[in-house]
């Protein structure tokens, strides 16, 4: 019982937030920080010809991005990332494992396309992918047996992204984000290698080391801010004043439609039949049939769809015995929303025809 009450309370608290949560529309910026996990990297020492794997510790990462949301869930953004990867060990086929100090930095721009998934909750899961360029710079990468790797090389890169955003109701446009990224650098690179205290002693040398492709997992948390927040939905128009003495109140019937449809469901047919029957008994002189849509299409398309819905209902009223001369047909497209929403929102209660008996 306590669990049921807790779930019910959580649902009630989340409902107002879900009603105001909308996909990102317009420009935005984001800032994130977290940890980077670099997978082992294969390498070849060209001085002595041995091969091995470079192992790294979990390190830190950051990302800053600017983007644009299209209001329908899709976003495109340009990221600048920085990953610091601390060295741990070098595991080779000749000398086995040896300690390694220092590490390398990975940084560069990425262009990502993302999609916010509407789930009817006060959060937005999202997925994405992108491509870009990453620079890898070895920074004081030292092996304890007298080798030092240095240099900077670039590589084509791609990434895949999964995350979740939680709009913060106290600051419109601000969202808390948690994100996972997998990044792959596709190029192999060769870096300079210094061999000091060589054989014989004092015979320092310069050579190269070839490193294979790199892949990493990054976990980030941060904030995203939509720069220009849309104004709140306009309130529904006030009803026209009623002249006195007031006539009998008008009776209204609502017929709902599936998305992008104007055909009548069995339930819609029942409601229309009830309206037709009531019009005979109430002495109705005029029946107003008004069609509406949600905001998921263009205004021009929605205007035509609302007309088709109104005509479908009017035709069924005639079948149910209402004279066509008593029917007034109106089409309002995506205006006069029953549930105020932003653009591009599929709201079932806005896909309707209203039958009013006067």
Specify the CATH number for the domain of residue 274. 3.30.1330.60
Mean pLDDT for 98-105 is 84
How many CB atoms within 10 Å of residue 101? 13
pLDDT of 199 over the 60 cut = no
213: number of CA atoms within 13 Å, CB side?
9
Q: Element (H or E) spanning 12, and its range?
A: helix 2-20
CA nearest 183: which of 67, 82, 42, 104?
A: 82
Average pLDDT for the chain = 83
- Do residues 71 and 215 share a domain? yes
Cβ(69)–Cβ(28) under 8 Å? yes
Look at residue 241 and tell me if it is in a domain: no
pLDDT of residue 14: 40
- Do residues 268 and 174 share a domain? no
Give the residue numbers spanning the domain of 150.
Answer: 21-226
Mean pLDDT for 283-288 is 78
Number of domains in the chain: 2
- Do residues 189 and 77 share a domain? yes
Look at residue 10 and tell me if it is in a domain: no
- Does the pTM of the predicted model rise above 0.85? no
Look at residue 78 and tell me if it is in a domain: yes
Token representation of residue 264? 């009548």
- Do residues 274 and 203 share a domain? no
Q: Per-residue confidence at 18, pLDDT binned at 50, 70, 90? A: very low
Look at residue 332 and tell me if it is in a domain: yes
Strands ordered across the beta sheet of 327-331: 251-256, 352-357, 287-291, 327-331
pLDDT of 242 over the 70 cut = no
Out of 226, 241, 263, pick the residue that ends a domain.
226
Out of 190, 209, 226, pick the residue that ends a domain.
226
């Amino acid at each position: 019982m306590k669990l049921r009450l807790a779930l019910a309370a959580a649902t009630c608290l989340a409902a107002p937030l879900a009603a105001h949560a909308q996909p990102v529309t317009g420009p935005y910026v984001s800032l994130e920080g977290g940890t980077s996990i670099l997978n082992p990297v294969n390498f070849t020492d060209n001085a002595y010809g041995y091969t091995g794997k470079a192992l790294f510790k979990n390190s830190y990462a950051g990302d800053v991005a600017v983007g644009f949301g299209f209001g329908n869930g899709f976003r495109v953004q340009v990221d600048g990332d920085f990953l610091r990867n601390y060295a741990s060990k070098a595991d080779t086929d000749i000398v086995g494992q040896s300690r390694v100090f220092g590490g390398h930095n990975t940084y560069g721009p990425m262009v990502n396309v993302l999609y916010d998934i509407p789930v009817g909750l006060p959060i937005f899961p999202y997925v994405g992918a992108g491509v870009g360029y990453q620079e890898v710079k070895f920074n004081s990468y030292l092996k304890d047996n007298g080798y030092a790797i240095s240099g900077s090389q670039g590589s084509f890169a791609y990434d895949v992204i999964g995350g979740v955003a939680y709009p913060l109701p106290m600051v419109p446009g601000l969202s808390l984000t948690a994100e996972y990224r997998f990044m792959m650098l596709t190029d192999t690179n060769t870096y300079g290698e210094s061999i000091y205290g060589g054989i014989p002693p004092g015979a320092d040398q310069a050579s190269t080391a070839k490193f294979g492709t790199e892949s990493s997992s990054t976990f980030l948390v941060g904030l995203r801010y939509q720069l220009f927040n849309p104004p709140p939905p306009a309130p529904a128009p006030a009803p026209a004043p009623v002249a006195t003495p007031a006539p009998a109140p008008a009776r209204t019937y609502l017929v709902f439609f599936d998305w992008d449809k104007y055909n009548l469901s069995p339930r819609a047919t029942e409601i229309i039949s009830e309206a037709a029957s009531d019009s005979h008994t109430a002495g109705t002189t005029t029946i107003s049939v008004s069609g509406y849509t949600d905001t998921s299409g263009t205004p021009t398309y929605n205007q035509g769809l609302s007309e088709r819905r109104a005509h479908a209902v009017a035709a069924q009223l005639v079948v149910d015995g209402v004279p066509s001369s008593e029917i007034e047909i109106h089409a309002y497209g995506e205006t006069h929303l029953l549930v105020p929403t932003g653009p591009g929102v599929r709201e079932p209660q806005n896909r309707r025809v209203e039958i009013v008996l006067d």
